């Protein structure tokens, strides 16, 4: 049994990591400021130690890493449009907090830190699929912040011998992704709209493509990265290696729900990339990673969860 700190563990991906770690018999501590995370995301998981605090405060970071073997650093304000609107707040959450947790983890003797990177760092380079050795081209404050933090991770490995791995996420979706914000992921927004009989909004013409990745695939990749012997200092894509347009995504989701609701098209958003698809060769080689849940299966799980949430909310 190992001890894991999941930063941002009351959030969407972090709570799934905490749940799987507990299932595997590990000791889990979560630190979360609850700015975007929700305490109830952890209510169904027994034995998780919870620490509320902001990792941009050095004393919170130091307290959080005490006695931990591994750190899974998920804490962030994970939104391109929010970073465009308020770059200072997102910089504090995405860079200041990341540097604090790196210093604290190094000083506390943590074995390895796995960082939640982002495919947004690739920007709009026309080459597909996106490979880790391609030059980054961030188009938004969020993308730049994620790039700076992953470079800090690599520098800490080179400079101090502190093991880090960056996993670049590609449009992760699944249960517990908050649909209640205009900054939410497109699948959670589509899900609630279709189940409520509303027209979802697509920014742009809907022909833009994404490598949507069900959250269980990401959890598997991250946990592999925490122990893979040859992964230290590396940046690794974890996704499905496929892509689908937003128009086709809506068509597939309409088919699952049994609706035929058309989208409302709005002007494309600043900082959004046109196409995204991962090359997952490196993840296969270094982590033994292979996607375990397909897009359609993941969509069914997500829609089932959204239905259950809506029913629970109505019953309150």
Identify whether 279 is preceded by a cis peptide bond (ω within 30 of 0): no
Cα–Cα distance measured from residue 212 to residue 190, given in angstroms and rounded to the nearest whole number: 13
Place of tokens 């563990």: 9
Of 70, 142, 152, 203, which residue is the catalytic one?
142
Q: What sections of the chain are H helices per DSSP?
A: 12-23, 58-65, 80-85, 87-91, 97-108, 141-160, 186-195, 215-225, 246-257, 281-287, 295-315
Angle of helix 295-315 versus helix 246-257 axis, rounded to 10? 60
Q: Is 203 helix (H, G, I), strand (E, B) or coil?
A: strand
- Residues 178 and 36: beta-carbon distance below 8 Å: yes
Label residue 182 left, alpha or beta by phi (over 0 means left) and psi (-120 to 50 means alpha). alpha
Cα–Cα distance measured from residue 25 to residue 1, given in angstroms and rounded to the nearest whole number: 6
160 in active site: no
Cα–Cα distance measured from residue 161 to residue 109, given in angstroms and rounded to the nearest whole number: 11
- Residues 195 and 314: beta-carbon distance below 8 Å: no
Q: Which residues pair with 275 in a beta bridge?
A: 209
Cα–Cα distance measured from residue 183 to residue 123, given in angstroms and rounded to the nearest whole number: 19
Q: Would you please indicate which residues are annotated as catalytic (active-site) residues?
A: 142
């Amino acid at each position: 049994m190992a001890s894991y700190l999941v930063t941002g563990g009351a959030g969407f991906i972090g709570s799934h990591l905490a749940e799987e770690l507990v299932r595997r018999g590990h000791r889990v501590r979560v630190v979360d400021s609850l700015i975007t995370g929700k305490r109830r995301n952890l209510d169904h998981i027994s034995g998780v130690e919870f620490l509320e605090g902001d990792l941009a405060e050095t004393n919170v970071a130091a307290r959080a890493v005490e006695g931990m073997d591994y750190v899974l650093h998920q804490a962030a304000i994970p939104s391109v449009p929010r970073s465009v609107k308020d770059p200072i707040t997102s910089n504090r959450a995405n860079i200041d907090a990341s540097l604090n947790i790196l210093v604290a983890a190094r000083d506390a003797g943590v074995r390895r830190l796995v960082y939640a990177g982002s495919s947004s760092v690739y920007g709009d380079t026309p080459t597909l699929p996106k490979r880790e050795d391609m030059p980054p081209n961030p188009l938004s404050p969020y993308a730049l912040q994620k790039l700076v933090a992953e470079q800090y991770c690599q520098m800490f490995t080179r400079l101090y011998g502190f093991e880090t791995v960056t996993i670049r996420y590609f449009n992760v979706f699944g249960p517990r992704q908050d649909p209640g914000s205009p900054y939410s992921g497109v699948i959670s927004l589509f899900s609630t709209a279709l189940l409520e009989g509303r027209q979802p909004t697509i920014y742009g013409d809907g022909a833009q493509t994404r490598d949507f990745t069900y959250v269980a695939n990401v959890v598997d990749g991250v946990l592999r990265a925490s122990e893979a012997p040859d992964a230290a200092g590396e940046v690794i894509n974890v996704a499905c290696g496929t892509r689908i347009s937003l128009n086709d995504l809506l068509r597939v989701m309409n088919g699952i729900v049994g609706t035929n609701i058309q989208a409302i098209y709005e002007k494309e958003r600043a900082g959004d990339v046109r196409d995204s698809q991962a090359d997952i060769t490196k993840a296969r080689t270094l982590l033994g990673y292979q996607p375990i849940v397909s897009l359609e299966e993941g969509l069914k799980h997500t829609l089932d969860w959204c239905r259950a949430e809506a029913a629970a909310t109505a019953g309150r």
